[in-house]
């Protein structure tokens, strides 16, 4: 890797200073303790830069010995300008986010965000600036199933800024949303155990902020307005949903104590919602995650008495069956495979059935047989949905594909290789080929 960039840094070019082009920081910027970046204002790197150089040139140089809200705000704002560009480009990034992520994960209020965005350069706040960088991350597509060096650099950059703001006692709703969106990025790119660790930090940050309060009056008191209270409730709900999903992916029980869940699992804000609203589907996702919580508890902390254990499993299956009947609204989303609530319910169903299939105790043979039969049905349903999705797939569908749909597809493939591999009624090879699409 070369120790010099191919062109002068942005700051030296703007101020017409002599630049020695050292990587990752030129000597003048280092001496003045300033951010040094070699990217263009539109975020495009010079054509001569290597991938290794790209991964290092966007790193900040804040004065850690004298870190304040003011100087870190300046640093993050400079990074936003360097990586994204001017306000019109930032709005374009936000538009992509609200078109692709917001429909299935509406933790940000769109209109207030755009209103605040108009002040990002005149009255910058570090947490709002950081939100825009998170939007860049979530809008980036992997190349050959890998995170690009540039996006990995940005990911590390954002994590570092969150830690820096935390170190100077900043804990706002916007910063909490940054944390959660970063966790969604980790989940989407399979960054474990980072996602599992991050969600634990999100929970503590939310509790410290008071975002987990069940009472809307308490939320309004904390966040000073009804709109912000609703946004805080959605953010906390998103944290709880993500915790349950990450726990499922990590094969662990949920980490949030039940005493903290009333604010996320309450339906008090769910009035007057229709299927055309993102919050309607978000609430359905929250309901699916509640059942997933029961499944995770059933699997990872089972009751000792077998009779009670079987009754609990049967009750969970009945609840899942009833719930799945309420979310089969094919007109609600482009395809049923894109529906997070359906995906979570499928994951929960396969998890509890796979657990049931593993029991060898006498007297429960009929339950095991029933588990195999139901498992066969849900995997076949998922295979058919995947085949249908692959036949009509569009790039826009992939861009808006929720991260929560991945587990059920992998789970079905794993079940096929294990539990149902020798099933005489199932074409396992065909099913696996479809699930690879």
- Three-state secondary structure call for residue 210: coil
The segment with the largest mean pLDDT, out of 216-220, 382-386, 397-401, is 216-220
End residue of a domain, out of 218, 235, 269: 269
Residue 135's pLDDT is: 94
Q: Map residue 146 onto helix, strand or coil.
A: strand
* Residue range 193-225, pLDDT digits in tens: 999 999 999 999 999 999 998 888 899 999 999
Q: How far is residue 10 from each of residues 19, 58, 328, 384, measured CA to CA in Å?
A: 10, 11, 53, 52
Nearest to 396 by CA among 326, 334, 348: 334
The answer to whether position 90 is within a domain reads yes
Residues forming a β-bridge with 22:
4
User: Is residue 53 domain-resident?
Assistant: no
**294 with 336: CB under 8 angstroms?**
no
**Using CA atoms, how far apart are residues 264 and 315, in angstroms rounded to an integer?**
22
Domain match, 110 and 121 both: yes
pLDDT of res. 313: 82
Q: At what angle do helices 428-435 and 365-391 cross, to 10 degrees?
A: 50
The answer to whether residue 46 sits within a structural domain is: no
Q: 355 and 215, same structural domain?
A: no
Q: Are 331 and 261 contained in the same domain?
A: no
Q: Tell me the residue range of the domain where 116 lies.
A: 67-269
- Which of 246, 269, 292 finishes a domain? 269
Return the DSSP state at 141. Answer: P
Residue 380: inside a domain, yes or no?
A: yes
The answer on 309 and 390 residing in a single domain is: yes
DSSP element (H, E) containing 58: none
Encode pLDDT of 294-319 as tens digits: 999 888 876 555 566 677 888 888 89
Q: Which of 209, 244, 269 is the last residue of a domain?
A: 269
**Domain assignment present for 171:** yes
CATH of the domain at 1: 4.10.240
Domains in the chain: how many in total?
3
Whether residue 212 is found in the same domain as residue 301: no
Domain annotation covers residue 410:
yes
323-368 pLDDT, tens digit each: 888 876 554 566 777 788 988 998 998 888 887 766 655 555 556 6
Which tens digit of pLDDT belongs to each residue from 158-199? 998 899 889 888 899 999 999 999 999 999 999 999 999 999
Residue 55 lies in a domain: no
My answer on whether 90 and 159 are in the same domain is yes
Contact present, 388 and 335 (Cβ < 8 Å): yes
Same domain as 411, residue 395: yes
- pLDDT, residue 422, reads 59
At residue 67, the 3 state secondary structure works out as coil
Residues 367 and 427 in one domain: yes
Same domain assignment for residues 82 and 130: yes
Query: Are residues 136 and 232 located together in one domain of the fold?
Result: yes
**194: which residues sit within 8 A by CB, 6+ positions away?**
186
Q: Do 97 and 146 fall into the same domain?
A: yes
Average pLDDT score over the chain: 78
Q: How confident is the model at residue 10 (pLDDT cuts 50, 70, 90)?
A: confident
Phi, psi of 357 (to 5 degrees): -65, -20
Phi, psi dihedral angles at 78 (to 5 degrees):
-60, -40
Task: Mark whether 146 and 198 lie in a shared domain.
Answer: yes
DSSP string, 233-276: HHHHHHHHHHHHHHHHHTT----S-GGG-HHHH--TT-TT--TT
Helix 428-435 vs helix 406-417: crossing angle, to nearest 10:
150
Provide φ and ψ at 406, rounded to 5°.
-70, -40
Residue 167: closest CA among 30, 59, 63: 63
């Amino acid at each position: 890797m070369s120790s010099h960039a191919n062109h002068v840094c942005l700051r030296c070019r703007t101020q017409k200073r002599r630049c020695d082009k050292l990587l990752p920081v030129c000597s003048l910027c280092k001496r003045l303790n300033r951010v040094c970046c070699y990217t263009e204002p539109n975020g495009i790197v010079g054509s001569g830069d290597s991938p290794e150089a790209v991964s290092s040139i966007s790193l900040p140089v804040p004065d850690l010995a004298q870190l304040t809200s003011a100087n870190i705000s300046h640093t993050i704002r400079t990074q936003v300008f360097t990586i994204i560009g001017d306000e019109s480009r930032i709005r374009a990034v936000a538009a992509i986010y609200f078109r692709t992520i917001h429909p299935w994960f509406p933790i940000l209020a769109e209109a207030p965000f755009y209103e605040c965005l108009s002040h990002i350069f005149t009255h910058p706040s570090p947490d709002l600036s950081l939100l825009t960088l998170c939007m860049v991350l979530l809008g980036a597509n992997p190349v050959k199933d890998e995170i690009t060096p540039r996006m990995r650099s940005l990911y590390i950059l954002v994590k570092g800024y969150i830690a820096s703001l935390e170190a100077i006692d900043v804990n706002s709703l916007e910063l909490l949303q940054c944390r959660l969106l970063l966790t969604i990025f980790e989940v989407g790119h399979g960054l474990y155990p980072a996602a599992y660790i991050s969600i634990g930090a999100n929970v503590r940050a939310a509790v410290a902020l008071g975002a987990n309060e069940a009472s809307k009056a308490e939320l309004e008191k904390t966040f000073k307005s009804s709109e912000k209270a609703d946004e805080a409730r959605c953010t906390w709900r998103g944290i709880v949903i993500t915790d349950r999903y990450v726990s499922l992916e990590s094969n662990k029980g949920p980490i949030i104590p039940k005493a903290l869940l009333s604010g996320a699992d309450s339906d008090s804000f769910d009035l007057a919602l229709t299927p055309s609203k993102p919050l309607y589907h978000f609430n359905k996702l929250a309901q699916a995650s509640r059942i997933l919580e029961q499944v995770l508890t059933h699997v990872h902390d089972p009751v000792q008495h077998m009779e009670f254990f079987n009754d609990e499993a049967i009750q969970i299956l009945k609840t899942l069956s009833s719930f799945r009947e309420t979310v089969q609204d094919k007109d609600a989303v482009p395809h049923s495979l894109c529906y997070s609530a359906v995906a979570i319910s499928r994951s929960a169903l396969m998890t509890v059935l796979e657990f049931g299939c593993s029991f060898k105790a006498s007297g429960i043979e009929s339950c095991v047989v029933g588990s195999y039969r139901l498992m066969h049905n849900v995997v076949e349903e998922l295979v058919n949905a995947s085949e249908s999705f692959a036949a009509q797939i569009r790039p826009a569908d992939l861009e808006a594909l929720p991260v929560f749909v991945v587990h059920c597809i992998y789970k079905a493939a794993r079940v096929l290789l294990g539990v149902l591999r020798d099933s005489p009624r199932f074409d396992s090879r065909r099913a696996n080929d479809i699930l690879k699409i």
